[in-house]
Amino acid sequence: MTAQEVAKSMMDKYGKEILLSGNKFCAMFSDMAPNFKLENKILRRMNQENILGEIYSILKSNENNFKKFDCLCENAGFSEEWKKIGLDIFGFLKMRKPL
């Protein structure tokens, strides 16, 4: 199972609202995917920076998902690698760079 599949299965089961409970989301992800060390670290940092809650807000508002996500990660000091991994984890939400 990939990190994206784990996140998707959690959101399918508990709804996108699970992102509003960042600690719970991170703990469940860690339990379901303990071998994804870097992804777990990135998710915990996203939770600390309230990016998980902001992802929920982005989804509710139909904003340009990629630009907002990119800006949030940049403001939190994420490297390009971490931003890419974050996009990969939540890729099923269609947060992609516009063509």
The residue range of the domain holding 89 is 3-93
In a domain, 98, yes or no: no
Cα→Cα distances 49→27, 55, 76, Å: 16, 11, 7
Burial of 33 per CB tally in 10 Å (0-12, 13-18, 19+): buried
Confidence of residue 98 (pLDDT cuts 50, 70, 90): very low
Q: What is the mean pLDDT of residues 68-75?
A: 88
In a domain, 99, yes or no: no
Confidence of residue 99 (pLDDT cuts 50, 70, 90): very low
Structural domain tally of the chain? Answer: 1
| pLDDT of 22 | 95
Q: pTM to 2 decimals?
A: 0.87
Above 80 in pLDDT, residue 72?
yes
In whole angstroms, give the CA distance from residue 10 to residue 29. Answer: 8
Which of 5-9, 21-25, 28-32, 54-58 has the lowest average pLDDT? 54-58
In a domain, 56, yes or no: yes
For residue range 27-71, list pLDDT tens digits in order.
Answer: 999 999 999 999 999 999 999 999 999 888 887 876 656 778 888
Above 90 in pLDDT, residue 95?
no
